[in-house]
Amino acid sequence: MRRTLRRLSPLLVCLSACRARPSAEELSVTRLRAISVPANDPSELCSDVVDARVCWSRKPGDGLWVGERHLPGPSASEPAKYRCTGSGQARQCRLRTDLAPAFRCKGVRCTQRLPRVPDDGDWECADLGGAVLCRGGAQPAGVTRPSLDPGWWCGARRRSTTGDRICLDLDPDYPPARGESFRCSYAIEGAKLTRLCESSTLPGLGSRCSQDSACPNDSRCVGGVCLPHAFSPNCWGDADCAPERCAYGTCTSRPR
């Protein structure tokens, strides 16, 4: 399978990669380890964002709901340990190490080999500081689309002539010490795709806030948490949205 790397900037690193999916036996074991953790979600369009549980409305202008993120048992203070998917009574949590390799840390730098991508297709991804955005996943004619990794939110890319999809993960993997913020990028190390994270003082999605000015560009402070203005993955860059802009994978007319 093809794996290439293209660097865009120190904080925005892109990759084109595919990762072998677990076998049927491995998937069965992972499902057995799933823990039911129902959530009081007001809609089905919900995601964990660091310590918060966030739900968007499918109707423009209806706003969003921010509540407490619930995790299994005594690990409620360890959001980096579990990845939870589904909404309402169907919400389930799994150990992240059942879904992707654990981070290995040395000093302030942590490395995750073979990080998650949306599926077995060919993807180019970028870390946005609290979220991961990927584009690609187009399948040749007659080829069945592989199943989507739970937790990714995907939509058709605007103005795409190749069948590209845009996928957003608002709860990406991070090193265990979630009391601090991280900035991550991607690289090829030893012929293996890796996710590299270092501690940072910069705010990201999910950071606690008291006003919009405390949040990164293209996000706002809602319920004390920095969140995207909109949530409907459909763009990779501003060219997909003109005359609007692309912010966290969603076309928006809001100024920066």
- The pLDDT tens digits for 99-126 are 889 999 888 889 998 888 898 877 888 8
- The answer on pLDDT for 48 being more than 90 is yes
Q: Residue 20 is encoded by which pair of tokens? A: 């072998």
Query: Which residues have C-beta within 8 Å of that of residue 59, sequence separation ≥ 6?
Result: none
- The answer on pLDDT for 172 being more than 80 is yes
Nearest to 124 by CA among 209, 12, 243: 12
Q: Are 171 and 48 in contact (CB under 8 A)?
A: yes
Q: Give the torsion sign (CA, 155, 157, 161, 164).
A: negative
- The answer on pLDDT for 23 being more than 50 is no
pTM over 0.85: no
Q: Which residue shows structure tokens 């918060």?
A: 52
Tell me what the mean pLDDT of segment 236-249 comes to: 94
* C-alpha span between 47 and 231 (Å, rounded): 11
Query: Which residues have C-beta within 8 Å of that of residue 147, sequence separation ≥ 6?
Result: 21, 119
Q: Where along the chain do its domains lie?
A: 4-202
Strand partners for 84 = 93
Tell me what the mean pLDDT of segment 114-140 comes to: 85
Q: Residue 181 is encoded by which pair of tokens? A: 């913020």
- The answer on pLDDT for 143 being more than 50 is yes
- Residue 241 has a pLDDT of 94
Q: How confident is the model at residue 74 (pLDDT cuts 50, 70, 90)?
A: low
Edge-to-edge strand order for the sheet containing 52-56?
Answer: 46-49, 52-56, 64-68
Q: Residue 189 is encoded by which pair of tokens? A: 């190390």
Which amino acid does the sequence have at 75? S
Average pLDDT, the chain: 80
Helix (H, G, I), strand (E, B) or coil at 80: coil
Nearest to 201 by CA among 186, 184, 183: 183
CA 5-238-173 angle, 5° bins: 45
- The answer on pLDDT for 198 being more than 80 is yes
- The answer on pLDDT for 207 being more than 50 is yes
Nearest to 125 by CA among 164, 84, 69: 164
